[in-house]
Amino acid sequence: MNSDQFEAFVANNKDLNLLINKQNFGVLSSIKKTDEMTKEFINWVSPKYYEAFVKVYKKYYLDKRGVVYALFRTSFLANEATLEKISKTIQRRLEYTLDRTKKFHESIALNPKNCVSALPTLDFPFDREATAIFENFKSQTIAEKRNEYRQYLMAIAKILNQFSPRKNEVEHRIYMSVRAELILMDMTPEQKQELEKQQLKFSGKAVWSILGIVIILIIIMLRCGGGL
- 61-93 pLDDT, tens digit per residue, is 888 989 999 999 999 999 999 999 999 989 888
**Residue of 26 and 195 predicted with greater confidence:** 26
Instruction: Please give the distance of CA 70 from its chain centroid, rounded to a whole number.
Output: 15
Query: Quick one: average pLDDT of 176-189?
Result: 85
Is residue 7 over pLDDT 90?
Answer: yes
pTM confidence score:
0.77
* Cα–Cα separations (whole angstroms), residue 137 to 82, 86, 130, 155: 11, 9, 11, 24
Is residue 53 over pLDDT 80?
Answer: yes
The pLDDT of residue 124 is 61
The pLDDT of residue 126 is 54
The pLDDT of residue 192 is 87
Is residue 156 over pLDDT 90?
Answer: yes
Instruction: Sketch the domain layout of the chain as residue ranges.
Output: 3-187+197-224
Is residue 118 over pLDDT 70?
Answer: yes
Query: Quick one: average pLDDT of 17-27?
Result: 97
Is residue 45 over pLDDT 70?
Answer: yes
Query: Quick one: average pLDDT of 95-101?
Result: 90
- Report the distance separating Cα 43 and Cα 105, nearest Å: 42
Is residue 103 over pLDDT 70?
Answer: yes
Burial 44-56 (b: 16+ CB within 10 A, else e): bbbebbbebbeeb
Query: Quick one: average pLDDT of 156-169?
Result: 88
Query: Quick one: average pLDDT of 174-203?
Result: 82
Is residue 3 over pLDDT 60?
Answer: yes
Q: State the CB neighbour count (10 A cutoff) for residue 85.
A: 18
The pLDDT of residue 207 is 44
Query: Quick one: average pLDDT of 5-28?
Result: 96
The pLDDT of residue 203 is 55
Contact by Cβ (8 Å): 73, 30: yes
Query: Quick one: average pLDDT of 114-127?
Result: 76
**Residue of 134 and 166 predicted with greater confidence:** 134
